[in-house]
């Protein structure tokens, strides 16, 4: 179920068997329960070789577009303003390609990049995005060697911004994004795919951690298990009833455990 989001990382699949017992939460001073009280006031808002020349041309154009895009990056030099699918690839070149062909080109291209990417089936993204409209925020837990580190994920249209909870608690609305997932729905209707890639602050985020967070987006927003999605609804609409330990329990049941980040 989650393979549609796992493309270019060695992060363990969420389909693995249940992992270790839940470890005690230790978030370096971040207190999820304390955050919930303040959140309630804001809740209304917010590698196959290149053979065919057309495929080679596709990758060449993507390289050129990414080089231009990097020059347009914001002052931090990490995130791109007004990022569009057209800024990554020439849409005219793929008009005659099927969704499967575009997906393969996308995977091959990003397989060599120091970031994550995905090709999400249109019907799965429709579920995720529709749920995000009424539930724009959620608390994610990244397993660490000792305990968990929490990240707040907030949707802004088709972008999903992640910031560590401790930064949100200390800096409030001025806390900078440490990871942004970009979802391109340009081809959703005609080709049946939504293309995703990401940008991250390398000082605080690795490709491995970014992939683990991306996995959790589908786990909590794309699930068919109502009990799992109810955690998202509770966080957004009844924050005082939300328990961060329930997120950890869900991750453990899904196979996400501290061994994931043992190499960091």
How do residues 125-173 score in pLDDT, each as one tens digit?
Answer: 999 999 999 999 999 999 888 889 999 999 999 999 999 999 999 998 8
As a whole number of angstroms, the distance between CA 115 and CA 145 comes to: 23
What's the distance, CA 3 to chain centroid? 14
As a whole number of angstroms, the distance between CA 251 and CA 151 comes to: 14
Residue with tokens 């909590």: 220
- 24-65 pLDDT, tens digit per residue, is 344 444 567 666 665 655 544 444 444 444 455 555 555 555
In degrees and rounded to multiples of 5, residue 196 shows phi and psi of -130, 140
> Structure pTM?
0.71
Contact 122, 129 (CB under 8 A): no
Sign of CA dihedral 148, 174, 183, 229: positive
Query: H helices within the chain, ranges in order?
Result: 32-42, 53-71, 99-110, 122-134, 165-171, 188-191, 207-221, 226-237, 244-254
């Amino acid at each position: 179920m989650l393979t549609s989001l796992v493309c270019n990382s060695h992060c363990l699949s969420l389909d693995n068997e249940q992992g270790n017992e839940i470890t005690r939460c230790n978030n370096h001073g971040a207190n999820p329960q304390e955050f919930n009280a303040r959140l309630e006031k804001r809740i209304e808002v917010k590698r196959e070789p290149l053979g065919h020349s057309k495929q080679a041309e596709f990758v060449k154009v993507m390289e050129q577009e990414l080089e231009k895009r990097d020059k347009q990056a914001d002052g931090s030099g990490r995130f791109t303003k007004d990022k569009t699918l057209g800024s990554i690839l020439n849409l005219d070149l793929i008009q005659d390609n099927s969704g499967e062909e575009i997906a393969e080109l996308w995977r091959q291209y990003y397989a060599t990049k120091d970031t994550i990417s995905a090709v999400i089936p249109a019907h799965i993204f429709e579920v995720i995005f529709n749920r995000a409209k009424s539930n724009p925020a959620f608390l994610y837990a990244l397993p660490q060697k000792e305990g968990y580190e929490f990240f707040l994920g907030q949707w802004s249209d088709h972008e999903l911004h992640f910031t560590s909870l401790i930064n949100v608690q200390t800096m409030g609305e001025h806390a900078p994004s440490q990871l942004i997932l970009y979802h391109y729905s340009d081809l959703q209707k005609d080709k049946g795919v939504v293309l995703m890639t990401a940008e991250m602050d390398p000082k605080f985020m690795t490709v491995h951690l970014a992939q683990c967070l991306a996995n959790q987006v589908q786990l909590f927003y794309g699930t068919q298990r109502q009990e799992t999605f109810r955690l998202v609804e509770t966080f957004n609409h009844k924050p005082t009833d939300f328990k961060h330990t329930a997120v950890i329990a869900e991750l453990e049941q899904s196979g996400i455990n501290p061994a994931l980040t043992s190499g960091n």
